Chain A
Amino acid sequence: MTVKMSALSGIEGRKVDVLVVGGGNAALCAAIAAREAGASVILLEHAPRELRGGNSRHTRNLRAMHDRPEGVLVETYGEAEYWDDLLRVTGGETNEELARMTIRASAGLPAWMEAHGVHFQPSLTGTLSLGRTNAFFLGGGKALVNAYYQAAAKLGVEIIYDTEVTDLQLEDGTVRRVTAVSRGFPLTLLPRSVVVASGGFQANVDWLKEYWGEAAENFIIRGTPYAQGTILRNLLGQGVQQIGDPMQCHAVAIDARAPKFDGGIVTRLDCVPFSIVVDRDGKRFYDEGEDVWPKRYAIWGRLVAQRPGQIAYAIVDAKAAKLFMPSVFPAITGATISELANKLGLAPSTLETTISTYNKAVQPGNFDGSKLDDCKTMGLEPPKTHWAQTIETPPFIGYPLSPGITFTYLGVQVNERAEVLMQDGKPASNLWASGEIMAGNILGRGYLAGFGMTIGTVFGRIAGAQAARHARN
């Protein structure tokens, strides 16, 4: 098979069996698996080398089933419990067949990953609760991505950066031609098999605006700016079956001072349960103490997105200052409520009223930050049902909150062989998908820590192997 392209890319005239679109975990697993199955492989990564790896570079662990302690994974985490966890967070919006296959396959992942250069470490401080279910990458997701790029390069995968695939030309369920822009030059490829692992569309603000209107302008994208959804939209426009609610995205409340893209983990704020949260008008709008933060943080992105200006402010006093992990940005402090209000740009009198009303509603109780305690308000609307303590000890501390978008749920439908399905239910003949572009098949709603990496690794390996087999036949 011939490959045609611009002179700049240096791959003209090269024959290729498998083309991988994307450069994160799912793409790399596919490229490695395809190459190990004997195929020639080209991987096209939209980002430059320094920013390669998609959202994988912001991850840090992978959820793996294990029936006995293995490596860094302690105790046991069986299929039944894993499935229960998935069912709970998705509320049933999952494909049980694909989900169970993924869960079972996850048991073999850590060994495969280590064989390809990934190192693990015991779980991090502050994340001990995940030590049983999730294997942590030494150094985090970027170290994992580095290891895979090295493994892929060593195997002979050709990796081309700064190259955005713009079109997969589908005819009767077959990809005939692939068009890309490589370092500013047009590039056309004619691969035998194609694996799409190019992520969701969460960094495409114009697309988000289709569902969220102008509010999307105020969203912060926690991960890579390269998740533009170009290929997702391209495929859905050519008769590929879609899956997942296009309206939905995983949004958490993060520090509003975060950069527009790529702020990652350090912009998170865990203070909400110990605070009161007011909107731009200085008014509370939701029960901050509804549940422990890990179970509630995903709803706060949406809550803040629905407030005017998509902004809110968490306010605590000196008593609560050490109860949570702060974000990377300095706390905004005031000796008085009105000083803090001025610094936050809120009307001092409104904030003072909100806080004094709240303080009067706080009931005596035994404060315990580690569980659902009995500190609550009475006669307040909305109530604060746990960890309600008066806000009266200066200095007063405020953090601005914005919606931080992690990923989107919309994707292409696949089967258990990672084949992309057309609207008529038949698989495309030479097109496979892995990673966020198909994760909505299994994680249709909610969030399960480290599960995106599991899906990407399991389906990446399947997609790569299948694509190689097709190309070699």
Chain B
Amino acid sequence: MNIHFYTNIVTIIISMLMMLPVALLLDGIFRKLLAKAHNRVGPSIFQPFYDLFKLFEKKRSDSAGYKSLFFRVVPVLYFLSTYSLFLFILGVIQFQFDFILLIYMIVLSSALYILLGLVSNSPFGVFGSMRDMLLMICYEVALTVCIFSFIVYSDVLSLSQVNQSWLLFKLPLVSICMVVITLVETRITPFDTTDAEPEIMGSVETEFSGRSLGLLELSRQLRFLFFILLLIRFLFNPVSAVSFIILFILMFFILLLSEATSARFRTDQTFNWLIIVLMLSVMGFIRIHFLVW
């Protein structure tokens, strides 16, 4: 093995490890700005770090779920599958694998989240999983169709080879659907029905505590960062670093504004909206052959 291979491995490891503090800091800034929108002081921006260390220090709880093997293993699997999504999106790593692998990893991560609720020993967890299963029929299929449209339009086989900028204007319908699906995946109102606290307590994460809950929180923050980067990569694909930073801040503010100014839909109402999103994305995909500009 030559020196190229070793430097490559070191770059991959360092850039992947850098994603963890960036995701935690981003979540801290989100919470602080949301508190400012509510006219209150809010937590410090390093609060997710303190929360993570506190959760990892706790002892194992007395939950009856610990009797089953899945209860102990599935949080770790969920974290690993979410973390490995970053291998596709970072520009420094020239990952030459197919985009079908990307779609598979996204769906695997969502499916493991549903499995978390089913293996926990509580009716609230089962309920939360049932809700997410119902919605997954729409939004995962729509996500697949959207990614298909981007890839087919760019005529490439892998995510790292997409080199057309400003696809937002060339594929408008599909871009809008991507934004809505990002709201669902990152659990931001108005589409965060799985996280409905007054209705079903903690939903999927009710029974977990200690290290498992720490891994779940970390995975949620990593998903937030991943989906913002995916949106920027597909819709804009900026070349220079300055435009990347400006677009990142713009996308961040759009998500923040959506969280601060809207209420939450009920499950059947979210389902109706997501059916419309699915139909729009299919229409956008078909339109690539006709009326393309």
Partners in one complex: no
